Amino acid sequence: MATIITVTNQKGGVGKTTTSAALAAGIALAGGRILCIDLDPQGNLGFCLGAELSNGPTVLDALKGRMSARQAIHKTEICDILPSDITLSSGGLEQVATKHREYILRDALAPVIGEYDYVVIDTPPALNLLTVNAYAVSDFLIIPMASDILSLVGLSQLKETIESVRDSLNPRLNVLGILLNRFNKRTLLSRDVLEMAQQLADQIGTKVFETKIRTGVAVAEAPAHGESIFEYNPRSAAVQDYREFLEEIADTIHLKEVLGDGQENE
C-alpha cells in the first residue's frame, strides 16, 4: 500500500508546490513509483512536473466520478499526476452529492493506490473540504512555512483541523514536521521565526525539521526548463537543502525500505 504524504498550509506563498514537486522528483529519481495529486486550483504542480494538460482531464473529473482516477492520470517524465485547474475552485467537492464527502478522494484513489509506492498531495491555501479529503487519506503531513512572521498566522487553526480529522476521520494522521523555506540563519528575522515555529510545533505535537531550505533561483527556474530541481541545478544551495530534507525524512516515511524492496524485486 502506498505511503501518502500531504504538503499543507492554509497560507499561500510558503513553498507547498515546490516542496511537493521536490518530494516527488527526489523519490522518483531514487526509483520510487509516485503519484502526485494537485488539489490547488492554481494547478502549478502539474507545470512544475512537466505535465502537458491542454484541456485534458483533471483530478476534478475523478472526484466527481466523470471518469476513473486511472483515466484522469497524466504521465510525465518524473511521475504520474492527477492535475488540477481553475475549475476546481468553482466546482469543488461541496457540490458532490454523497453522505461521506470527506472520503471522496480516498474512494477515487482506491482502484489505483496499490500501483504506487508513494502519493504526494499538494493542497490549496485554505482549510476547505479539499484539504480535509487530503488529510483523511494521508499517513503524513508536512507543513512548509516561509521565514516571515505572517507565515505563523493561522497555524492554530491548522492545529484544530488536524485534531478534528484525527478524532473523526483518520486516527493514523501524523504531522512529520514544519519545513522552513527561504531561510537565512544570519538574519534576526529567520532566527525569530525559527524560535516561534518551534513553539508552534510543540503545540501541534511535532517538530521543526533540522533541514532548512535556503533561497535559490534554481528552484524557480527549473519548471520553465522542463526539469526537476535535482536535474536542473544540483549544486544550488536550495536544491542541496531539499536533498538533505529527503534524507532527513527517509527513515520515517520508510523510503529506504520501500526502494530497497523494489530494487530487490527487479
Q: Is 262 a domain residue? A: no
Q: What is the percent of the chain where pLDDT is above 90?
A: 59
Q: With pLDDT > 70 as the criterion, what percentage of the chain qualifies? A: 93
> Is residue 261 in some structural domain?
no
Query: In this predicted model, what pLDDT tens digit does every residue of 166-182 receive, in sequence order?
Result: 999 999 999 999 999 99
* Weakest mean pLDDT among 50-54, 124-128, 140-144, 226-230: 50-54
* Predicted local confidence at residue 225, as pLDDT: 82
Domain with 234, as residue range(s), is 3-256
Q: Is residue 265 a part of any domain in this protein?
A: no
Q: Is residue 127 part of a domain?
A: yes
In a domain, 264, yes or no: no
Separation of alpha carbons 26 and 218, rounded Å = 15
More confident residue, 36 or 220: 36
pTM to 2 decimal places: 0.92
Say which range, 68-72, 113-117, 151-155, 212-216, has the weakest mean pLDDT: 151-155
What CATH number is given to the structural domain containing 169? 3.40.50.300
Residue 190 lies in a domain: yes
Rounded to 10 degrees, what is the CA torsion of 177, 182, 186, 190? -60
pLDDT higher than 50, residue 264: no
Strand partners, 36: 81, 120
Choose among 154, 230, 172, 219: nearest CA to 6: 172
How many domains, in total, are found in the chain? Answer: 1
Residue 48 lies in a domain: yes
Q: Where are the alpha helices (DSSP H) in 78-183?
A: 87-90, 104-109, 129-137, 155-168
Residue 165 covered by a domain: yes
pLDDT the model gives residue 265: 39
Provide the mean pLDDT of the chain. 89
Q: What is the pLDDT of residues 125-146, one digit of tens each?
A: 888 899 999 999 999 999 999 8
